[in-house]
Amino acid sequence: MMNTQPLQQTLDHWSRFTLRQRLMRYGGLALTLLVVAWALSSIDVIWEWVWDAPAQMGDLFGRMMPPDPSNLPSILEAIWQTVNIATLATLFAVLVSLPVAYISAQNTTPNRVTLWIGRFILVSSRSVNTIIWALLFVAIFGPGIVAGIVAIMFRSIGFLGKLLGEAIEEIEQKPVEALEACGASRFKIVLYAIVPQVMPAFFAVSILRWDINLRESTVLGLVGAGGIGMILQGAIDTFNWPEVAMVLLTILALVVFGEVVSSYLRKKIL
Amino acid sequence: MLKISNLTKRYGSGDPVLKELNLTVEGDQLTSVIGSSGAGKSTLLRCINRLVEPTSGSIELNGTEFTALNRRELRVARRRIGMVFQSFNLIDRLTVMENVQVGRLGYISTWAALTRRYPREDIRHAYELMERVGIAHYANRRADELSGGERQRVGVVRALMQRPEILLADEPTASLDPKTSEQIMTLLRDLASELKLPVIINIHNVTEAKEFSDRIVGMRYGRIIFDGQPDKLTNAEMDEIYAGVPAMDRAEVGAVA
Amino acid sequence: MSMAKDSWRKPPFIANPLIRYGLYGAILIYVGLTLATLPIDWERVSDGMRRAQRIFSGAFPPSFERSGLLIDGFLESLKIAILATVGGILLSVPLAFMAARNIAIKPVYLLGRGIIIVARSFHPVIVAIIFVKAVGFGPFAGALTLVVYSIGFVAKLLAERIEEIDFGQVEAMRSVGAGFIATLAYAVVPQIMPRLVGLGIYQLDSNLRASAVVGIVGAGGIGATLANAFGRYDYDFALAITMVIVGVILVSEAISGFIRKRIA
């Protein structure tokens, strides 16, 4: 477009974007503003509460100070339980996700039907949040750590299976060809040509998910599925704010601990 | 003895890549297949062990008709054909020993494969072959730690571990520098006579082909247009193998058909 | 040719056998003990299976009778997600500059990192509970929660992007005597803008997901509708809501993936 204009006319004029680009940018901005205005004007909020919010927040935090460590032993026990939930659930989810990843990767799935079964498992596992899974499993197993483990596990299968499946799809095909030429069976090809190539991704993804699961496990207790969330819920229900603060601090420590451990493992193994 | 008759390969509905091709290889001959890119060399080699499925024709190795085999039979039969690849096709993260034992995978139990408990006989054979090609001290190294020439030696040992009746090599030296390339060619020639093994090599480098082969096969656009001893390959015939416009050849085929 | 060896073992992953078997043993003991101490009450489980059967038979077929409620819940979730994304990004940009090692001075950097770590550490549901207690039930608590959630993600990745910028451009601006704001506007912002837009679209998508969850603890949106349906044993309506949530999440993931691909 610039080139078609006579050179003299463009010499004293410069703009970063062409007209079309500028229109697109302003259009995008206007659309965003419009959507925000719509959301603001129609959202069902009592605005007095909003203006009051900073004071309320300050008040709440004031009541949390100082954190009360008197219940620390049972808090630490619940944290230990939380770690166990995350670890066991990750372990089981890893085991289950392996065959799921195998059938949902395009280059290893036996046929179309298994491919779609695999994808269905991944999508349904990933789309339903941990809390919703937990609601369901608390109804089945009753309140407690078992429901928590199963809920975290169900949610993790989709995550692990998807990323592992992608890793399988990205492998180098050449070793597979070599093994086929040697007359190796399908299972041995998986064992020698696919497993070694997927190994690094396998560890990376498992460690990452363990880290995420540590965080997810802290809320299971709110729907009765065990862990530190139980104590948090109890403290909130009894308006014991100093203890709430203590629990929050412990969770913070747990999450930081999880990040340190997982980055150490990643460095060590990969 | 490998006997290929009337082999045709067509991808999709396009022109055939191999056209009614006939070739017989026997004894401990080292046969080089030369020809420009797209002449069908690689397809020919892969049709022999059916990594590429032939469209029609027959492939017979010491009495076994390969085109008639079902999947399970084919798997067993493939163990009799060793193959060496241009990019080595090793499993990078496994040790050299594991890569070499891949050649025996067809013979050992799944449990032995999983736990890496290979039969003593296979381990001894592997060490002998690795020593022969000069990589025995690398047995516990990971394959991706080796240089190109060393990696191709692993590829050769892997193929020989199969105790093959014939060895196919698809551009085995194309990824290597000239000196290493010569070493690998020497190795393949010596192994052919030591093990009384017919070897078929696809190769770009005509000088190397002439120096190391007992027989040269020249291909152009899916046909064999030269077949004879290296010293019979004249400049005129070289020109014919490497010159020519594909369209002309295709047109000619069309006219014949 | 020398006498060839006939035995071979794969070199173990951990060379020291003491550490190796110690580690295996420790893992085995840990898993064994935690599994053994799991309080599984099989009677309760078999009882629960009956209950699960009741839930599932109550849930089929899913009921879309009260689709008005469902649509309202969704629109509310959407509004929460939009406002939280915009608010989150507005707060994330200055925070990201604070938390970028190459721009901020040390104390500001530490403060910025600290805020981001705290925002990332707490699961949105926990944040939601606190906000619900502080500012009352409803979408406002939900929006605040997701603002915190957005900061944890957007500010962190944006700060990392700022740390990776080409500093030559900044030096060029300084060498012509440009002020701090002009330097930011000309040398830094153009470099991080594509990332910011991409992050914003991704965050809108994940806020929509999260808003379906924080509603369960009273922070408005479709999650609240779902929690109500579950609490009233309306399992057929709950299933319908879950199905719609899954559908919307898939669609929004596809849209956001498409837009991000176009931008990149």
Q: In chain C, what are the domains? A: 76-263 (1.10.3720.10)
Render pLDDT for A215-263 as a digit per residue (tens, 0 to 9).
899 988 888 888 888 888 888 888 888 888 999 999 999 998 998 998 8
Q: Which chains touch C (3 or more CB pairs under 8 A)?
A: A, B
Q: Is beta strand B16-25 parallel, antiparallel or unpaired with respect to B2-10?
A: antiparallel
Q: Give the pLDDT confidence score for residue B244 in this predicted structure.
A: 60
Q: What is the mean pLDDT of residues B57-65?
A: 91
CB under 8 Å to C51, separation ≥6 — which residues? A139, A140
Tell which of A129, A149, A211, A256 to mutate to test the C interface (max C CBs under 10 Å).
A129
Q: Do C209 and A252 touch (CB under 8 A)?
A: no
Nearest CA in chain B to A198: B93
Domain-located, residue A19: no
CB under 8 Å to B69, separation ≥6 — which residues? B50, B77
Q: What is the mean pLDDT of residues B121-134?
A: 91
Contacts of B131 in chain C (CB under 8 A): 1-2, 4
Q: Name the band, by pLDDT with cuts 50, 70 and 90, for residue B251.
A: very low
C-alpha to C-alpha distance for C259 and A243, rounded to whole angstroms: 45
Render pLDDT for C106-159 as a digit per residue (tens, 0 to 9).
888 899 889 998 888 888 888 888 888 888 788 888 888 999 999 988 888 888
Q: What is the mean pLDDT of residues B13-31?
A: 88
Chain C, 61 to 80: residues with Cβ < 8 Å from chain A are: 75-76, 78-80
CATH superfamily of B1-80+167-172+196-257: P-loop containing nucleotide triphosphate hydrolases (3.40.50.300)
Contacts of C51 in chain A (CB under 8 A): 139-140
Q: Tell whether the model's pLDDT for residue C236 goes beyond 90.
A: no
Q: Is C48 exposed, middle or buried (0-12, 13-18, 19+ CB in 10 A)?
A: buried
Distance from the first to the final alpha carbon of chain C: 60
Q: Tell whether the model's pLDDT for residue B254 goes beyond 50.
A: no
Tokens of C7: 């035995």
Q: What is the mean pLDDT of residues A108-117?
A: 89
Domain ranges of chain B: 1-80+167-172+196-257
Judge whether A82 and A231 are in contact, CB under 8 Å.
no
Tell which of A140, A206, A241, A251 to mutate to test the C interface (max C CBs under 10 Å).
A140
- CATH number of residue A257's parent domain: 1.10.3720.10
Render pLDDT for C20-37 as a digit per residue (tens, 0 to 9).
899 899 999 988 888 888
A216-246: burial string, b at 16+ Cβ within 10 Å, e else: bbbbbbbbbbbbbbbbbbbbbeeebbbbbbb
Q: Name the band, by pLDDT with cuts 50, 70 and 90, for residue B245.
A: low
- Shortest CA gap C161–chain A (Å): 20
Domain-located, residue A2: no
Nearest CA in chain B to A179: B102
Q: Name the band, by pLDDT with cuts 50, 70 and 90, for residue C1.
A: very low
Render pLDDT for A40-91 as a digit per residue (tens, 0 to 9).
877 777 777 777 778 877 887 888 888 888 888 888 888 988 998 999 999 9
Is C201 in the A-facing interface, judged by CB distances under 8 Å?
no
| Closest residue to C125, CB basis, from A88, A127, A219 | A219
> Which residue is it, tokens 């014919």?
B240
Least confident window among A129-143, A246-260, B91-105 = A129-143
Domain-located, residue A59: no
Structural domain including A256 reads 72-269
Judge whether A87 and A254 are in contact, CB under 8 Å.
no
Q: Do C55 and A251 touch (CB under 8 A)?
A: no
Q: Give the pLDDT confidence score for residue C264 in this predicted structure.
A: 61
Render pLDDT for B145-196 as a digit per residue (tens, 0 to 9).
999 899 999 999 999 999 999 999 999 998 889 999 999 999 999 998 888 8
Q: What is the mean pLDDT of residues B208-226?
A: 90
| Closest residue to A43, CB basis, from C123, C139, C249 | C139
Judge whether C84 and C146 are in contact, CB under 8 Å.
yes
The total number of structural domains in chain A stands at: 1
Contacts B–C by Cβ distance under 8 A? 30
